[in-house]
Amino acid sequence: MIDLRNIPSDKEDLDSYEVEHNFQSWSYQPAQSPLRVVSAKGVRFTTDDGRERLDFSSCFVNHNIGHQDPRVIDAITEQARTLCAFAPSLSNKPRALLAKMLAEVTPGDLSRAFISLGGTEANEAAVKICHQFTGRRKMLTRYRSYHGGTATSMSLSAGDARGWFQVMGGTEMISVPQPYCYRCMFGQKYPECDLQCVKYIDEVIELEGGSEKVAGIICEPVTGANGIIVPPSEYFPRLREICDKWEILLITDEVMSGFGRTGKWFAVDHWDVVPDIMTLAKGLTSAYVPLGATVVRKHIGNRFKEQFFSHGATYAGHALACAAALAVIPIYQEDNLIENSAKMGKYLLDKALELKDKHPCVGDVRGLGLFVGLELVKNKKTREPIMPLAAKIRQGMNPKLEVAKKLGELGMMAMAANPSNVIAMAPPLIVTKDEIDEGIGIMDQALEVADAHTGD
Ligand SMILES: Cc1ncc(COP(=O)(O)O)c(C=O)c1O
Q: What's the pLDDT tens digit per position in 57-66?
A: 999 999 999 9
Q: For 179, phi and psi rounded to 5 degrees?
A: -80, 65
Type of residue found at 150:
T
Rounded alpha-carbon distances, angstroms, from residue 172 to 74, 168, 226, 367: 45, 8, 22, 32
Among candidate residues 363, 355, 351, the one with its CA nearest the CA of residue 427: 351
Enumerate residues 6+ apart whose C-beta is below 8 A from 83.
92, 319
145 CA closest ligand 1 atom index: 1
Question: Does residue 167 have a pLDDT over 70?
Answer: no
pLDDT tens column, 284-331: 999 999 999 999 999 999 999 999 999 999 999 999 999 999 999 999
How confident is the prediction for the chain on average, in pLDDT?
Answer: 96
Q: For 15, phi and psi rounded to 5 degrees?
A: -60, -45
Query: Strand pairing of 412-413 and 52-55?
Result: parallel
In 229-320, DSSP assigns E strands to 249-253, 277-280, 292-297
What is the pTM for the complete model shown? Answer: 0.97
pLDDT-derived band at 234, boundaries 50, 70, 90: very high
pLDDT tens column, 3-41: 999 999 999 999 999 999 999 999 999 999 999 999 999
190 or 167, greater pLDDT: 190
How many angstroms is it from 120 CA to the middle of ligand 1? Answer: 6
d(CA 206, CA 440): 46
Ligand 1 pocket, CB under 6 A: 60, 118-120, 123, 146-148, 220, 224-225, 253, 255-256, 281
How many angstroms is it from 337 CA to the middle of ligand 1? Answer: 22
d(CA 374, CA 361): 9
How many angstroms is it from 381 CA to the middle of ligand 1? Answer: 33
Q: Where are the alpha helices (DSSP H) in 226-318?
A: 235-246, 298-306
Query: Strand pairing of 277-280 and 422-425?
Result: unpaired
